[in-house]
Structure 1
């Protein structure tokens, strides 16, 4: 049972506008955004960050969703694991490949640059104080640009925050 109410029909103009934009971009309003709607400013800020990283940006949707799935799995967030697994499948990724990304991302089918970016983002989540310099350099050696590196770290950071929020507040699956 959720520890916070999920807003279905916002009473304020800010949340109403954000919900309309989320529905237009994603097709529905995920439950974690419905939970954030209890604080319209926080809902708006989180949607703007999500939109900048996951809807727009320079990395492929497949790589961004892979980073999100790996971070969700490493953070043991069942809601986010299910959500990002589904989103990867909606992008045309085979369910066996989704499982591989989730459980053994080193063997997932990505090019060398995307592997380096995924490894950097995962490492930044699990152990940000150890070998980050080496992993950033490795990503650059594989052709990653600074904007791509920043976007991957941004996705990691955002998903880490979302997974912690979802778990603490016991947000139910969509």
Structure 2
């Protein structure tokens, strides 16, 4: 769905070469499609490769579950009013990571029933809303909830990845190629 005129070129997977072609092939194998975000990111193959490498490392060897990562992504996309990323993560959260529609909706508000996930979202909300200026009290609360320093670093990394993709999607006005969820939509708008 087109929200506005896209402002950056999308690289055609059929015309991609080198590392970009390899990354597009791997992305297509994993998702069944090469999303518009990756096609725009491919304008700079180094950025695309770096992004894929970090996401792959955190997914394969990170300590946060797919559901928690998707909750963070939903919160960050909502905070940054990124309809593209909100649409991606509403879909992935409910269809891939196993979140219920209610859990995904609550994550957009920084809420979770699970106490550990709630603590992660509290920390992620503080990071994104205060641009990293987490207070001593917020960090202490995260630690009391069971987050290690390693968890804190990983939460901040997930927020940073979300901010990057949110800003790129918004600046480029990337066409949404997922079931559309707008940041202004109510709870009944989740896919």
Higher helix share: 1
1:113 to 109, 116, 120: 116
Match of 1:96 in 2: 102
CA distance in 2, matches of 1:156, 1:131: 13
User: Hey, what does 2:25 align to over in structure 1?
Assistant: 20
Tell me the distance in 1 between the aligned counterparts of 2:151 and 2:75.
17
The 5 Å alignment of 1:1-174 reads: 1-9=5-13, 10-54=15-59, 56-90=61-95, 91-102=97-108, 104-106=109-111, 108-110=112-114, 112-128=115-131, 130-174=133-177
The runs of 5 or more residues in structure 2 that have no matched partner are: 178-191
Contact 1:54–1:155 (CA<8 Å) still a contact in 2?
A: no
8 Å contact from structure 2 (residues 107, 121) kept in 1:
no
Q: How many residues align?
A: 171
How far apart, CA to CA, are the structure 1 residues paired with 2:40 and 2:29? 19
Report the alpha carbon displacement of residue 130 of structure 1 after superposing the two structures with TM. 4.8
Q: TM-score, normalised by structure 2?
A: 0.82
Q: How many Å apart are 1:131 and its aligned residue?
A: 4.5
User: 1:147–1:26: structure 2 CA closer, same or farther, 3 Å change rule?
Assistant: farther
SS at the partner of 2:146?
coil
Q: Cα RMSD (Å) of the superposition?
A: 1.7
Question: When the two structures are superposed, what TM-score results if normalisation uses the length of structure 1?
Answer: 0.89
What is the Cα deviation at residue 21 of structure 1? 2.1
User: Residue 130 and residue 155 in structure 1: after superposition, are their counterparts in 2 closer, same or farther (change >3 A)?
Assistant: closer
Which deviations, in whole Å up to 9, do the C-alpha atoms of 1:139-158 show, x marking residues without a partner? 11111122221111101011
Is the Cα–Cα contact under 8 Å of residues 120 and 132 in structure 1 kept in the other structure?
A: no
Give distance in 1, aligned partners of 2:136 and 2:93. 29
Q: Is the 8 A contact 2:72 2:158 kept in 1?
A: yes
- Tell me if the contact between 1:6 and 1:35 (Cα under 8 Å) persists in the aligned partners: yes
- Provide the rounded CA distance (Å) in 1 between the counterparts of 2:48 and 2:170: 17
